């Protein structure tokens, strides 16, 4: 499993875009195939090695990206399928500023005239997994741009109901973040839709 992203410096702040979780080794020169996406809050403590180009990520202790990649890999395995060569899971965020302090990141994003978003958000993706957490008045506004889109397969793990829901969450639904999430319900669901 390998992780890539493109970092940009905008108005003095670092943003992470085009984040990819490759389910195997990334083979340069071959076409990459997006098999799904996950929507989280923000890139947190991500640190760039280079700016303005797709480059291998230093996870810096991030556990979300490996968790997501492992669930997709296990989903393919459970379905009796191999993931395609250069298959990756795209990572979208409510906002893309790199800051481990969510409150500080929100303050910066709120001060920007135009909040930068990842250009890949306009792409059609086979499935989208939502993991942005629960009802939060400071984050709910950012959820709307994802709630308005419709993919072939949208789902989230509902923390309250303790089950996978086959729809886009509403702003007040608890779309469980991967931290502390049980793997089995998501793997079982992915095996039916990959």
Query: What was the pLDDT predicted at 2?
Result: 96
Query: What was the pLDDT predicted at 107?
Result: 93
Query: What was the pLDDT predicted at 61?
Result: 81
pLDDT digits (tens, 9 = 90+) for 145-170: 999 887 789 999 999 999 999 999 99
Q: How far is CA 166 from CA 45, 72, 129, 146, in A?
A: 30, 16, 10, 15
Q: What are the DSSP calls for 130-168, one per residue?
A: E--BS--TTTHHHHHHHHT---SEEEEEETTTTEEESSP
SS3 content of the chain, % helix, strand, coil (to 5): 25, 30, 45
Query: What was the pLDDT predicted at 148?
Result: 86
The pTM for the full model equals 0.95
**Pairwise CA distance, residues 41 & 6, whole Å:** 17
Res. 92: pLDDT tops 80 = yes
Per-residue tokens: 154: 């949208």
pLDDT digits (tens, 9 = 90+) for 8-42: 999 999 999 999 999 999 999 999 999 999 999 99
Question: Quick one: what percent of the chain has pLDDT higher than 90?
Answer: 86
Among residues 63, 21, 55, which one has the least CA distance to residue 38? 21
Among residues 145, 142, 95, which one has the least CA distance to residue 117? 95
Res. 172: pLDDT tops 90 = yes
């Amino acid at each position: 499993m390998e992780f890539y992203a493109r970092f940009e410096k905008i108005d003095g702040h670092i943003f992470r875009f085009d984040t990819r979780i490759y389910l195997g080794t990334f083979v340069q020169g071959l076409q990459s195939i997006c098999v799904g996406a996950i929507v989280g809050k923000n890139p947190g403590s991500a640190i760039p090695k280079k700016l303005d180009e797709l480059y291998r990520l230093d996870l810096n202790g991030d556990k979300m990206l490996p968790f997501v990649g492992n669930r997709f890999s296990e989903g393919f395995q459970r379905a009796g399928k191999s993931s395609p060569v250069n298959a990756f899971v795209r990572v979208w965020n409510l906002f893309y500023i790199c800051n481990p302090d969510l409150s500080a990141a929100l303050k910066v994003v709120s001060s920007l005239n135009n909040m930068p978003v990842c250009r890949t958000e306009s792409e059609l993706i086979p499935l989208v997994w939502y993991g942005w957490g629960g009802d939060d008045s400071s984050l709910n506004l950012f959820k709307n741009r994802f709630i308005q889109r419709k993919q072939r397969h949208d789902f989230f793990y509902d923390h309250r109901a303790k089950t996978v829901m086959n729809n886009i969450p509403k702003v007040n639904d608890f779309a469980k973040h991967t931290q502390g999430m049980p793997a089995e319900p998501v793997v079982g669901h992915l095996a039916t839709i990959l």
